[in-house]
């Protein structure tokens, strides 16, 4: 049975005009940039950012992603993005929620999955490296 992990991060962003499509709402592909910023902060909490991953001998490519666009987000709008690590034993799954920063209304949800690849052999690992599990240990409840 998998233990419960309490690890999340959040960031607040004001959307930019450059993020919007011609209709004045955030272009669908830019949601992943918002997810990435929250994920970066999440992994920083355990001192395992992308540079640390490479230094440990593993690359962590995204192998799967999903977005559910609940409501359009206009430019010049303050949003809050949360990232929560929900799976870690065989791959990293991070769940995201984008909220309206003022009202707390959920605007978008999604996830990404990343898998460890041994940089020496270029082979995908079928279990997350022990190093990741050790970094997560303080966050188990």
Q: What is the pLDDT of residue 128?
A: 97
CA 48-54-56 angle, 5° bins: 70
Q: CA-to-CA distance for 68 and 12, rounded, in angstroms?
A: 19
Nearest alpha carbon to residue 136 among 8, 1, 12 = 8
CATH H-level superfamily of 8-136: Hotdog Thioesterase (3.10.129.10)
Structure pTM? 0.94
What are the Cα distances from residue 60, in Å, to 36, 40, 52? 13, 13, 11
Element (H, E) at 117: strand 117-118
Q: What is the pLDDT along the chain (141 residues), one digit of tens a residue?
A: 567 899 999 999 999 999 999 999 999 999 999 999 999 999 999 999 999 999 999 999 999 999 999 999 999 999 999 999 999 999 999 999 999 999 999 999 999 999 999 999 999 999 999 999 999 999 998
């Amino acid at each position: 049975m998998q233990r419960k992990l309490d690890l999340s991060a959040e960031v607040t962003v004001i959307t930019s005009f450059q993020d919007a499509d011609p209709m004045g709402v955030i272009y669908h592909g830019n949601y992943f940039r918002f997810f990435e910023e929250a994920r970066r902060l999440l992994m920083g909490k355990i001192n395992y950012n992308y540079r640390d991953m490479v230094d440990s001998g593993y690359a962590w490519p995204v192998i799967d992603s999903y977005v559910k666009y609940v409501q359009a987000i206009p430019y010049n709008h303050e949003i809050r993005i949360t990232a929560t690590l929900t799976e870690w034993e065989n791959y990293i799954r991070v769940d995201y929620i984008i909220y309206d920063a003022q009202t707390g209304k959920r605007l978008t949800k999604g996830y990404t999955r990343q898998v460890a690849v041994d940089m020496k052999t270029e082979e995908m690992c079928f279990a997350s490296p022990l190093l990741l599990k050790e970094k997560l240990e303080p966050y188990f409840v």
